[in-house]
Every structure is written in C-alpha cells, then in structure tokens.
Amino acid sequence: MREIPITEVVNLITAKMANGGVFLCVANGETKNVMTIGWGGVNTFFGAPCFLAPVRQSRYSYGIIRKNGAFTVGVPLHDMRKQLAFAGSESGRDVDKFVGHGITAASAQAVNVPIVKECELQLECEPQGYVEQKADMMIPEIRDRVYADGDMHTFFLGKIVRCYYTE
C-alpha cells in the first residue's frame, strides 16, 4: 500500500473514466454493491479534494448511497474491461456482483464501504452531501438526449480521505 497525492493521479483517473470506467462501491451495513461509472470525477469543493459520483435514481446503488454517502472508487490499471462491463450492465438487485466474476470486496481503510481488491489504485471518500439534478435546469439538448426517460442523476460528493496504490 502506498499513499499518493490525488493531484498526481487526477489525469490517470480521468483517462480511465473516459475509457471503460471505474468501479464505484457503496454499502449500508451488510448491504454492499458495486457499479461502473464513467462520468463525474475528481474536483475541489469546500477547500478539499473531492470525487463527484453521478448515480441515476434507477440504480440499485442509488438507494444504498442515499443511506450511507461514503463510497470508494476502484481504478484498475490492468485490463478489467470484462468486469467493468459486467458491473456496468447487471444490477445488484438481481445478482451479487462480488461473487464469481473477478470483482472481490475487501476492507477499506477509512470508510465502512468495501474496495474492489483487484484495482491497483483506490480512492476512499467520506460523504459531503448530494445534489439532485432537475430536468428543467438542463439545457434542452441535454435534457432530451440524456434524460428523455426522466432517470435523473444525483451527484454524490465525497471528500477523498485516502488515495493509494495497493501494491
């Protein structure tokens, strides 16, 4: 485990998010889940480095992260396209994504949410709050193209309290 300043890996994380995505882990008590995200990312809020995780309200993860706003972000530095596609298409409502698909839950250091063990780069985030996106606040082009079905994102904001390479 090696801590790394977030400023040194922002571009790497941004590139991974744009190319296959990263893993977002959420948990509330015994209930845990993982999904793939490609939007959002590292930013600064309230004087600290944060991660913004946009989760649509239809996701199983949404109900969990609304109850416990902490989350982790797993950034694979080897090829996990298959696992990212799986976590990004199947729902935790129907299947335990941590079982039998090469996505292993392991303990985080600072938050009560698992990390994806296979990922070489990890972010652990403490809840700062969330913002519900409203359709009528979006320009018509975005509203019609991205939210035609009304399945809005909520932006979950987490303060990055740990950033480290697992090996």
Q: Least Å distance between CB 63 and ligand FMN? A: 9
Position 39 contacts ligand FMN (CB under 6 A): yes
Position 83 contacts ligand FMN (CB under 6 A): no
Question: What is the DSSP annotation of 35-63?
Answer: EEE-S-EEEEETTEEEEEEEEETTSHHHH
Q: Least Å distance between CB 92 and ligand FMN? A: 3
What are 157's strand-pairing partners?
A: 52, 129
Phi then psi for residue 139, to 5 deg, are -65, 150
3-state class of 129 per DSSP? Answer: strand
Among 38, 66, 96, 166, binds ligand FMN (CB under 6 A): 38
Among candidate residues 58, 64, 40, the one with its CA nearest the CA of residue 155: 40
| Segment interacting with ligand FMN (CB under 6 A) among 42-50, 52-60, 112-120, 158-166 | 52-60
Q: What angle do CA 89, 111, 77 make, to 5 degrees?
A: 50
Q: Among residue numbers 53 through 82, which ones bind ligand FMN (CB under 6 A)?
A: 54-56, 59-61
- Site residues for ligand FMN per CB under 6 A: 20-21, 33, 35-40, 54-56, 59-61, 85, 88-93
